Amino acid sequence: MDYSSEFQRSISQRDDFWREQAARIDWIKAPEIVWQAKENGHGDWFPDGVLNTCDVALDANIRAGRGDQKALIYDSPVTQTQRAYTYNELTAEVARFAGALRARGIEKGDRVIIYMPMVPQAVIAMLGCARIGAVHSVVFGGFAANELAVRIEDATPKALITASCGIEVNRVIEYKPLVDKAIEQSSHKPEFCIVLQRPQARADLQAGRDVEWNTLMAGAQPVDPVPVKATDPLYILYTSGTTGKPKGVVRDNGGHAVALNYSMSLVYGAKPGDVYWAASDVGWVVGHSYIVYAPLFAGCTSILYEGKPVKTPDAGAFWRVVQDHGVNLLFTAPTAFRAVRKEDPDARELAKYDVSSLQRIFLAGERLDPPTYEWLSEHTGLPVLDHWWQTETGWAICCNPVGIEMMETKPGSATVPSPGFDVQIVDSFGHPVPAGEQGYIAVKLPLPPGCMKTVWGDDERFRRTYLDPIPGYYSSGDGGYIDEDGYVFVMGRTDDVINVAGHRLSTGEMEEVVASHVAVAECCVVGAQDELKGQVPIGLVLVKDGVATDPDELERELVQMVRERIGAIACFQRAMVVDRLPKTRSGKILRRVIRQIADGEAYTVPSTIDDPAILEEISEKFGR
Ligand code: COA
Ligand code: AMP
């Protein structure tokens, strides 16, 4: 089958198409209904199906004869450790951990927050929750206590799983004080915390609430996977929106397993037994989908890497991992290779390793800039494939469908819509625009399986954010165009979300932190271009009348506040004091123009501006 026929079929014979894909995974009760519509074109996939996601990921591989194959390889240059788990071993650990959770009272539907570094126990915890039908919510370890508190408050978890520390290159980051602070701050209190003690730092335990991972596991009895409905939630993953409050993206069990399994062959061309490495973090959607779930659904070996592309110990780190484990397929964010290229422009490190196992390199998470694409293609001689997706969709909306037909790549394009995603470019009224013209990227409803079900606890926000703006479509929040050949070019967000080193962040959230400083009257944060990280946030700050402040001191305080409230990953390092902020006559801050000035781009003075002279003042501040 060629791409075009497969795509057409996924739209015109949707139910047959997804019924066939559903037949490729193990169900406890196979679904008879493929799609059931609800209001607004949204609905449920496989509503009468029953399965267990952990069973599909682990036990099903043992049944298929892959018990002795490696399921997970932990490679940690920061602790000088490597450890492999076969499917038999991983299943045994997960079954025992699931048993331990159940023995402590965790039941189907209960939420469990996982705040952990990149250790195998993070994967075991996720799969353990799935095994008993508990809903996990992994919080990226780089988030500060306040961010964790917000998620505890929203997800109301019965338990929290953490580790004593994470390791950032050679710095030990203690997690437990952050967890204690977050729980103190939140009005909801988990009943208990499980703490993995790592040798690099020992956490103090709170008697009656905290229990050590090893103590818990010592007496644990394994349990079998419990049947859950395809539509039951598997996990909640919080992601940045335009406001300070992150959105809890809810993923179901059935649609997720079917879609992710399909994506492994479609997008990555993976086969059972392949060694697949997503160099990301379990705290992000890439980690959920392509470190944990999809490679296991597809019977691959997944790599869990606790390190960086550079400095652990050098820019050859990725190539070393490829050689050591015979990686076939590598997926990471462009920023990772920008970091490698910066330190090793001639790819001398690459020549030191045997990377002959590697077949393809995949990039996503932010725009793939042509210099990085060219550097990587030239030095590796391998296909370098961009694909576009979001936390909300869980798998690629656009990709080069190598599993069906390898298409010619066009730099700057994520290639074509994945089967199931009816991607359209529309104007602000929802009318389709002609080929080559920029607009909002929208996906005609229904979305295929695997995409978000709702926002946790706030279905109204889900509808308002994603379904209402363009009736009949899912609004992606990205802008771009489709060319005459049907290639999709994603040009960037149309909202206040920014992408810093492949990490999705909200400028609105940073504005809330900056605005809470006693000296700040008003502020605005925009994402400015950055050679290494893609974008970095920059704040413009208006000081309250009559408040005497030293701008450098204020900047230091604001930087510290954002670090403490959101985390170091926000990379908020600049806050400039200005006399006025450019606004429209109706009082809206002209963020787009500020961003253009920060990037040194030409801009048109908007006709709605209340005082054009402000733009010159801002330009001077940016040294333009
Ligand atoms: N726990 C605690 N702190 C963390 C952290 C974590 N898990 N991850 C990052 N941080 C901290 C860093 O230590 C750094 O702190 P500092 O300001 O005190 O130095 C800060 O957050 C910024 O981190 P980062 O933006 O990652 O910058 P960096 O200079 O440390 O590394 C890259 C730059 C490009 C090497 C790194 O960002 C990278 O590997 N990116 C790939 C991202 C990725 O995989 N994204 C997933 C989508 S596919
Ligand atoms: P996240 O939810 O963290 O995966 O971030 C999703 C956002 O990252 C998208 O809405 C895009 O703005 C951006 N993004 C992801 N992949 C790409 C890509 N291949 N090209 C351009 N932007 C991308």
Q: What is the pLDDT of residues 423-479, one digit of tens each?
A: 999 998 899 999 999 999 999 999 999 999 999 999 999 999 999 999 999 999 999
Peptide bond preceding 446 in cis form (omega within 30 of 0):
yes
Residue 433's closest CA among 425, 444, 423, 441? 425
Q: What is the mean pLDDT of residues 513-526?
A: 95
pLDDT value of residue 498: 94
Please say if the pLDDT value at position 21 is more than 90: yes
Cα separation values, 320 from 116, 253, 354, 601, Å: 25, 35, 8, 40
H helices then E strands: how many in the chain?
Answer: 20, 32
pLDDT value of residue 90: 99
Classified as helix, coil or strand, 276 is: strand
For residue 489, what is the DSSP state? E
Confidence category of residue 384, pLDDT binned at 50, 70, 90: very high
Dist. CA 55 → ligand 1 center (Å):
33
pLDDT value of residue 5: 97
Classified as helix, coil or strand, 23 is: coil
Confidence category of residue 51, pLDDT binned at 50, 70, 90: very high
Ligand 2, atom 4, lies closest to the CA of: 390
Burial annotation 34-68 (CB, 10 A radius, 16+ → b, else e)? bbeeeeeebbbbbbbbbbbbbbbbbbbbbeeebbe
- Mark whether 160 and 60 lie in a shared domain: yes
pLDDT value of residue 68: 98
Q: What is the CATH number of the domain that holds 612?
A: 3.30.300.30
Question: Cα–chain-centroid distance for residue 425?
Answer: 24
Neighbours of 559 (CB within 10 A): 18
Q: Which residues line ligand 1 (CB under 6 A)?
A: 141-142, 166, 168, 173, 279-280, 284, 286, 308-310, 332-333, 335-336, 339, 365, 501-503, 533, 568-569, 571
Dist. CA 210–CA 191, nearest whole Å: 9
Overall domain count for the chain: 2
Two tokens at 484? 């005459």
- Mark whether 408 and 523 lie in a shared domain: no
- Mark whether 445 and 569 lie in a shared domain: no
Ligand 2, atom 11, lies closest to the CA of: 366
Q: What is the mean pLDDT of residues 327-349?
A: 97
Cα separation values, 416 from 9, 255, 390, 405, Å: 15, 22, 16, 11
- Mark whether 430 and 540 lie in a shared domain: no
pLDDT value of residue 543: 95
Domain that holds residue 10: 3-307+387-480
Q: What is the pLDDT of residues 98-148, one digit of tens each?
A: 999 999 999 999 999 999 999 999 999 999 999 999 999 999 999 999 999
For residue 82, what is the DSSP state? E
Q: Which ligand is nearest to the CA of 281?
A: 1
- Mark whether 542 and 421 lie in a shared domain: no
Q: What is the mean pLDDT of residues 509-519?
A: 95
Please say if the pLDDT value at position 38 is more than 80: yes
Please say if the pLDDT value at position 237 is more than 80: yes
- Percentage of the chain lying above the pLDDT 90 cut: 90
pLDDT value of residue 53: 99
The verdict on residue 279 lying in a domain is yes
- Mark whether 518 and 577 lie in a shared domain: yes
Confidence category of residue 588, pLDDT binned at 50, 70, 90: confident
- Name every residue whose Cβ is closer than 8 Å to that of residue 623 and which is 6 or more positions away in sequence: none
Query: 120-132 vs 87-103: helix axis angle to the nearest 10?
Result: 60
Domain boundary among 480, 509, 532: 480
The verdict on residue 246 lying in a domain is yes
Classified as helix, coil or strand, 315 is: coil
Confidence category of residue 509, pLDDT binned at 50, 70, 90: very high
Cα separation values, 599 from 148, 342, 503, 530, 534, Å: 32, 21, 20, 9, 12
Please say if the pLDDT value at position 243 is more than 80: no
- Mark whether 520 and 434 lie in a shared domain: no
The verdict on residue 313 lying in a domain is no
Q: What is the mean pLDDT of residues 326-338?
A: 97
Residue to mutate (ligand 1; options 281, 304, 335; most atoms within 8 A of CB): 335
Domain boundary among 422, 448, 480: 480
The verdict on residue 577 lying in a domain is yes
Which ligand 1 atom minimizes the distance to the CA of 310? 35
Residue 37's closest CA among 29, 45, 26? 45
- Mark whether 468 and 400 lie in a shared domain: yes
Domain boundary among 480, 515, 537: 480
- Mark whether 440 and 303 lie in a shared domain: yes
Q: What is the mean pLDDT of residues 226-236?
A: 98
- Cβ–Cβ < 8 Å for 440, 448: no
Q: What is the mean pLDDT of residues 525-534?
A: 95
The verdict on residue 87 lying in a domain is yes
Which ligand 1 atom minimizes the distance to the CA of 118? 7
The verdict on residue 463 lying in a domain is yes
Residue 265's closest CA among 384, 161, 396, 99? 396
pLDDT value of residue 592: 87
- Mark whether 280 and 240 lie in a shared domain: yes
- Mark whether 401 and 528 lie in a shared domain: no
Q: Which residues line ligand 2 (CB under 6 A)?
A: 239, 285, 364-368, 386-391, 414, 477-478, 490, 493, 499, 504
Which ligand 2 atom minimizes the distance to the CA of 497? 12
pLDDT value of residue 612: 83
Dist. CA 285–CA 546, nearest whole Å: 46
Residue to mutate (ligand 2; options 389, 393, 451, 481; most atoms within 8 A of CB): 389
Two tokens at 417? 């819509």
Q: Which ligand is nearest to the CA of 535?
A: 1
- Mark whether 457 and 585 lie in a shared domain: no
Task: 94-97: list long-range contacts, CB under 8 Å, 24+ apart.
Answer: 94/54, 94/58, 94/124, 94/127, 94/128, 94/131, 95/131, 95/222, 95/223, 95/224, 96/217, 96/220, 96/221, 96/222, 97/124, 97/125, 97/128, 97/217, 97/220
pLDDT value of residue 385: 98
Q: What is the pLDDT of residues 132-146, one digit of tens each?
A: 999 999 999 999 999
The verdict on residue 438 lying in a domain is yes
| Strand order through the sheet with 81-86 | 81-86, 70-76, 301-305, 275-278, 329-332, 360-363, 384-386
The verdict on residue 381 lying in a domain is no
Q: What is the mean pLDDT of residues 49-67?
A: 98
Two tokens at 259? 């879609």
pLDDT value of residue 351: 98
C-alpha dihedral sign at 100, 76, 310, 268? negative
Residue to mutate (ligand 1; options 168, 240, 318, 343; most atoms within 8 A of CB): 168
Residue to mutate (ligand 2; options 367, 465, 475, 476; most atoms within 8 A of CB): 367
Which ligand 1 atom minimizes the distance to the CA of 278? 48
Dist. CA 315–CA 252, nearest whole Å: 38
Q: What is the CATH number of the domain that holds 428?
A: 3.40.50.12780
pLDDT value of residue 123: 99
Confidence category of residue 624, pLDDT binned at 50, 70, 90: confident
Confidence category of residue 242, pLDDT binned at 50, 70, 90: confident
Two tokens at 16? 């047959």
Question: Cα–chain-centroid distance for residue 341?
Answer: 23
Averaged pLDDT of the chain: 96
Confidence category of residue 332, pLDDT binned at 50, 70, 90: very high
Dist. CA 223–CA 98, nearest whole Å: 6
